[in-house]
Structure 1
Amino acid sequence: MNPAWNLGNTLDAVPYEGMWNNPPVEDHVFDYVVERGFKGVRIPVTWTNLHSSGAPDWTLDPSWLQRVADVVDMALARDLYVTVNVHHDSWEWADVTLPNANITQIQDRFRAIWEQVGTKLGCVSSLVSFESINEPPADTEAEAQLINEFNEIFVEAVTEAGGFNTQRVLQLTGPVSDAAKTAEWFVPPANIQQPWALQYHYYSPYDFIFGAWGKTTWGSAEDYATLTEELSLVRRAFPDIPLILGEYDASHLNTEPAARWKWFDQVARVSTQHGVALVVWDNGLDHLDRNTGVWRDPVALDIVEAVLRGENNSLPDATTDHGDLEQWSSAFVWNRAGETVGDAELPWLFHGNSLVGVRTQTGASLVQGADYTVSSSAVTFRASFLSRFLGPDVEPGSKANLTLTFSSGAPSVVEVIQWDTPEFLAQPSPALGQDLNIPVQYKGWSMVAAVRAVAEDGTFLFDDWTQWLPPLQQGRITFNGQYFFDGEQVVIRSASLDAVASLGQPVDFEFEFYPRVPGNSITFTVDPADF
């Protein structure tokens, strides 16, 4: 199944398929998956709102069971390995950490679901695997034991459902599908006779992956060591068990490319060294545009595929000292409006490869020596070449896209950008209970790097402990939950407006852009008097 892809935010949407950011899945989506080179697909399924009766039978809606079976058939028709699970039920009704959790009822409902799913899919191809439950909450050893009991119930229910389920590959999970907790607390069911694998997930470091507290850098020696250690925990604990990294991702929506690609490379490399199958998470916004078949970050996926082929990837370098006051990245050539174009030296991590060639988005090949030069640690684009796209009087924006190919490994991309500080196009009035959408004119790369939220008296709106973080992180808030950007607007989330109202004083929201250098930011002030 390696590599595989997640059909996320679809059959697992709450309360129904189509209720999140994706329409109901169509057959052709799996063509895109196969064409991209994936061998497997994980189909997360949430069953919470799709029962036709409650306790004690917990009967599943037959039409929903059939819908799941139909989607499984779409994938099987393309010879994909398929995983079906119990997904967001883990926090909808199966959360054993809640103080009032009715463990008996939770276990009865869990058993009933798997008895019915096992019966419905009991005679489908052996390409189909069942996964017990996604990221079940557990904070203590006692709660982790309840997750182990989930796995026991899962095995019993699927086995008793009959069909070919006594031979089917089953995927078990540890508490929260977390590597450390799984390594410490997972115990395999004594009653399992089927071939089985252990699944866990990896989204670390949290602040980099989820755009929290201004963390836009990754790739220091410490970062590499931490990732390597965390991804080695489960293999050390279970040296002879097939392992599956059922979810991992660093989204292009909120991570800088060079840092992201280094992260993907190392996740794939360490996982592959440990014989772990890789299943990239995709919520419909991160990777595949399911309407057009376009993959939004092909470099990341190329990097993974190259690692699986045993090749080294050549990667653009970027800031690795998290204490720096600025951030640079070799995934870009930047020229500020009004400035003369100079040579652009981009530090590069060749990893034993040589640069074979460079071409533009039109397919035109660059001439080494005239358009660019290569050293042992950098690629330098000549000013004479860059002046075709950049210059003191050129309007801001992305002007060219350069693809670099190497003697081995994945190709990489450098974006050539003329930039200036963006501008707000309006000053809308905030209102409690809803997001504040602010029209913006980007003047360069259309992405927000971070947002600093500081009150009139110097108080950080959220997380005062960030005062002890490096300079580019102090007072910064979190992507999606507290700020967002979408097309031609930046967004202050309603939760941030509520926080301003509670604080009772004006707060400056400083939107910072790439390149992260002093002055490349604009500030919107929210005054609680305006609510």
Structure 2
Amino acid sequence: MAVSNPRALAAAAASYFLTVSAAPTKRGAECAGSFEPISAADYVAAINPGWNLGNTLDATPDEGSWNNPPVQATTFDDVKAAGFKSVRIPVTYTHHFTGESPDWTIDPDWLQRVEDVVDMALERDLYVITNVHHADSWEWADVTRPDANLTMIEEKIHRAWVQIGEKLGCKSSLVAFEPINEPPAETAEHGAELNKINELFLQALAESGGFNTQRVVTLVGGAMDSMKTSQWFEAPTGYDNPWAIQYHYYSPYDFIFSAWGKTILSTDDLTTIKADLTNIRNNFTDVPLVLGEFDASPLNTEPAARRRYTDLVVRTAAALNTAVVIWDNGLDHLDRETHAWKDPHSLSILMNAAEGTPNSLADATTDAYATSQSSSAYVFHRVGDSVEDYTVSLLLNGNTLDSIAVDGPDGETLAAGAEYRATPEGDVTFTTEFLGRRLSAAPDAEPGSKANLTLSFSAGGTAGVEIVQWDVPVLESNTSKAVAGADLLIPITFKGLKYPAAVKMLRSDGVYLFDDWTQYLGPLQAAYGTYNGQWNWLGDNLVLTAATVDAVIAAGVDTTFTFDFFPRVPGNSVNYTLTV
């Protein structure tokens, strides 16, 4: 898309600008000291990679209302130590407006809290992007609603940013602003309204004083979706701010959200990811780009596939001069209480990919129509089987294997030759001598995770291999009568990894409980449900959500749920039947 000749705003937009102000006026924050301007291109280069302080100041109705405690400065120490250069601080203002039209006053205590958190990051020399986030775009700023009050939305976004700009206007050039998170848009008309909101945002910054007319901003398109942004975004005119475009990427949807049983990152997926990121760059060849949210969570994605996804997204973005900011809702990556990263290998891969350094990766199944799934992120040994040499395959990507060590304070470094053998092609074989000290051929051997290994290479990030002794889990019972209106918890004794991989949902009449179109997917996806919305797990319980139980009752047909586990091989599953 050419952005050097943007279309004029619609007549409706022009009338609002005349109402608010005939031209941007200078008022608001007055700052002592100086401001070191930075171009949008230099800013985007400097913030890569970044981290999102998710589900925190953006929680509703207040900070601490969701799964995270109030922000502690030590969190930014952890982020800085991990190698991140920037933080995105999403903020929801919906429940902090204390006044109505036309002033839309924001609670000064909330603005002070936002400033305090921004300062925590700045004190650690982290770049900061902050915005108007969750419920703001969900509740009062959704331009797609049939009853959307555009006059109110425009007035409120303008007044919000005047106040935010006044509060943060004297911050250094490390701070950038983003008008609103993922604003819904379904049509070109909606896209035009969001272009108008970008301009109102810039007008508000001009009115708010301080250094805000020199500050970098990351503007947004429809839903911050790359395709909608490419279709409908138009560049603002008449303002001096250096600007970039920010977009978000949670694709392939079924892989990222474990929908329809998907645990494989397929060959087609890998091609599509690269094409998607390339397409938006081709549409904005001369505009700095920020990929402000992306994520493949350790909670629900298979590790070899997840690490390959992270590597591909970050590496492709870096090659396209696009900064990345990983989403972290406090459950996904950094444990803010223990200060530990949940998948340090993904973190290492991300950091190296952002620098353009090749990573070596665990290989895994990429055939979407496979009947089983292999993963070189694991050594899987079934209880009762003899302990034998076990080979995992790596995508070395030009590197060589340097060492293998057992994780933990007393971890040992494996002896090449005696405990493992490696080929130049990337096959690593763990010997019976090594595995026999952790695994057993006894039929009553204890299942579970036996060790985690870290593989280090001549360059790039680390790879992880977990040694798991497994057997088929056991349910406390295999059937019950469906009871409407509540989640169903099914007690289970796990025997290996302590979570399910996917759940097949098939009625006794042969009809799929949900989404009969999945018959066209592979055998590990046909008739399968979606994580979180339809199934989950909690401690030593499998969970069928209330929506799933209610669907069984509505169908009026007994339904069998087949819970698959890792390794996803024939026989490693259990059945549970809900009767009506």
TM-score, normalization: structure 1?
Answer: 0.97
Choose the corresponding residue for 1:253, options 278, 285, 299.
299
Structure 2 stretches of 5 or more lacking a match? 1-46
**Considering only CA atoms, is the larger Rg found in Structure 1 or Structure 2?**
2
Is the counterpart of residue 330 in structure 1 residue 330 in structure 2?
no
State the alpha-carbon separation in 2 of the partners of residues 460 and 15 from structure 1: 38
Per-residue deviation, 1:158? 1.1
What SS class does the counterpart of residue 562 from structure 2 fall into?
A: strand
| 2:481–2:579 Cα contact (<8 Å) kept | no
**Distance in 1 separating the partners of 2:241 and 2:464:** 45
Q: Structure 2 matches for 1:348-497, cutoff 5 A?
A: 348-361=394-407, 362-375=410-423, 376-393=425-442, 394-425=445-476, 431-497=483-549
Determine helix, strand or coil for the equivalent of 1:213: helix
Measured in 2, the distance between the counterparts of 1:341 and 1:125 equals 60
State the partner residue of 1:228.
274
Q: CA deviation digits over 1:240-262, x for unaligned, max 9?
A: 21111100100011110011111
Aligned partner of 1:212 in structure 2 is: 259
Residue identity opposite 1:341 in structure 2: V
Contact 2:266 2:368 (8 Å CA) reproduced: no
Q: CA deviation at 1:61?
A: 1.1
The one-letter code of the counterpart of 2:432 is A
Counterpart contact for 1:51–1:58, Cα < 8 Å: yes
Range moving further from structure 2, 346-355 or 301-310 = 301-310
Cα offset for 1:527?
A: 2.0
Q: Distance in 1 between matches of 2:182 and 2:382?
A: 45
Corresponding residue for residue 305 of structure 1: 351
Q: Provide the residue aligned with 1:266 in structure 2.
A: 312
**In structure 2, C-alpha distance between the alignment counterparts of 1:500 and 1:159, rounded to whole Å:** 56
Code of the residue aligned with 2:573 in structure 1: it is S
Residue 7 (structure 2) aligns with? none
Distance of 2:455 and 2:266 partners within structure 1: 21
User: Which string of whole-angstrom CA distances, capped at 9 and with x for unpartnered residues, describes residues 185-242 of structure 1?
Assistant: 211111331111110011110000000001101141x222211110012211111211
1:18 equivalenced with 2:18 (yes/no): no
Residues 60 and 113 in structure 1, CA contact (< 8 A), matched pair in contact too: yes
Q: Is contact 2:388–2:432 with CA below 8 Å preserved after alignment?
A: yes
> Is 1:524 paired with 2:573?
no
Using the TM superposition, name which of 504-513 and 312-321 deviates more.
504-513
CA distance in structure 1 between the partners assigned to 2:354 and 2:95 by the alignment: 39
Q: Secondary structure at the match of 1:231?
A: helix
Q: Does 1:314 align with 2:360?
A: yes
Match for 2:540: what amino acid? Answer: E
Conserved? CA contact 1:397–1:417, under 8 Å = yes
CA distance in 2, matches of 1:363, 1:16: 43
Aligned to 2:289: 243
Letter in 2 for 1:352: G
In the TM superposition, what is the alpha-carbon distance from 1:107 to its structure 2 partner?
A: 1.1
1:149 & 1:232 partners in 2: Cα distance?
A: 27
Amino acid at match of 1:177: M
Contact kept in structure 2, 1:456 and 1:505, CA below 8 Å? yes
Residues 152, 191 of structure 1: 8 Å contact kept: no
Instruction: Map residues 91-110 of structure 1 onto 2, 5 A cutoff.
Output: 91-110=138-157
Verify the 8 A CA contact 2:178 2:219 in the aligned structure 1.
yes
Map of 1:38-117 to 2, 5 A cutoff?
38-88=84-134, 89-117=136-164
Q: Greater relative contact order: 1 or 2 (C-alpha under 8 angstroms, separation 6 or more)?
A: 2
What do residues 413-433 of structure 1 show as CA deviations (whole Å, max 9, x unaligned)?
100010001112357775422
Aligned-partner residue type, residue 389 of structure 1: R
Aligned length: 527
Secondary structure of 2:351 counterpart? helix
Aligned-residue Cα RMSD (Å) equals: 1.3
Q: 2:340 — aligned with what?
A: 294
Question: Match of 2:504, as an amino acid?
Answer: R
Structure 2 SS opposite 1:28: helix
* Structure 1: runs of 5 or more not aligned: none
For 2:519, give the aligned amino acid: Q
Q: Contact 1:156–1:191 (CA<8 Å) still a contact in 2?
A: no
Deviation at 1:405? 0.5
Q: Does 1:180 align with 2:223?
A: no
Q: Is the 8 A contact 2:401 2:457 kept in 1?
A: yes
Equivalence for 1:514: 566
Give yes or no for the alignment of 1:147 onto 2:198: no
1:9 is matched with 55
